[in-house]
Homo-oligomer: A and B are copies of this chain.
């Protein structure tokens, strides 16, 4: 059982990460002053430097917190699971500053001297696991290379959300995600699987409402 002091430390660290995510999301790395983050978190500079070395360290933690949002509690398997994860993501990116900040920092990382592929790699590995199950279940056409396809979907989602951010503040991201699968599925799924895969904005909304709640909670940190 954690002592009160440790509990407070955990809580402070979490407040700092959430505040940093909000500030990085709004202002980007360069515009996110340490003072803004301290104000938002309501903690002292001493507390910040107890938990994090510097702003870059804080940014890295926020980038890596994305991985905790990857595995939604989705009951589906194989190709449907991969589709579902991206459908939920298209909503959670609108609702979750931690996820948004992670995505923004990953895209901007060159500006603050990082070249860290691990946020991409973690997503790609998660997608590849879905594709492995899909292949096992005979859902994929023979030509599909699992690793290459997983990396393509990660890259496509990355760019799609940037485009959606500029055009609509990401409100049209669910439509764009459904559209991606409408274009991809006929070429990669077997005919039998194609008939059964559900891919619609209604499904995205419904999955997000019933399951996304797990990802809105405090389990990022």
Which residues from chain A sit less than 8 Å from chain B, CB to CB? 27-31, 104, 106-111, 115-117, 120, 141, 143-145, 148-149, 151-152, 154-160, 162-167, 176, 179-180, 182-188
Complex Cα–Cα for A176 and B159 (A): 14
| Selected contact of A186 from candidates B110, B141, B148, B151, CB within 8 Å | B141
Contact B158–A162 (Cβ < 8 Å): yes
A111 in complex: contacting residue of B27, B109, B152, B157, CB < 8 Å? B27
Of all chain B residues, the one with the shortest Cβ separation from A165 is B110
Distance A141 CA – B158 CA, assembled complex (angstroms): 26
Query: Is B166 touching A152 in the complex (CB atoms < 8 A)?
Result: no
Q: Within 8 Å CB of A104, what residues of B?
A: 110
Return chain B residues, CB-CB under 8 Å to A30.
28-31, 111
Closest to A179 in B: B148
Specify which chain B residues have a CB less than 8 angstroms from the CB of A144 in the assembled complex: 183
Chain B hits for A183, CB < 8 A: 144, 148-149, 152, 184, 187-188
Given contacts A162-B159, A176-B152, contact A31 B111 (CB under 8 A): yes
Once bound together, how far apart are the Cα atoms of A143 and B181, in whole Å?
12
The answer on a CB contact under 8 Å between B166 and A109 is yes
Chain B, residue nearest A113 (CB): B31
Chain B residue nearest to A25 in the complex (CB): B110
User: Complex formed: what's the CA distance from A188 to B117 in Å?
Assistant: 31
Q: Give Cα distance in the complex from A143 to B188, angstroms.
A: 15
Of chain B, the residue at the smallest CB distance from A27 is B111
Contact A155 B184 (CB under 8 A): no
Chain B residues contacting A156 (CB-CB under 8 Å) are 152, 155-156, 159-160, 180
In the assembled complex, which residues on chain B have CB atoms less than 8 Å from the CB atom of A186? Answer: 141, 143, 186-188
Given A185-B187, A188-B186, A108 contacting B109 (CB threshold 8 A): no
Bound CA–CA A160/B145 (angstroms): 17
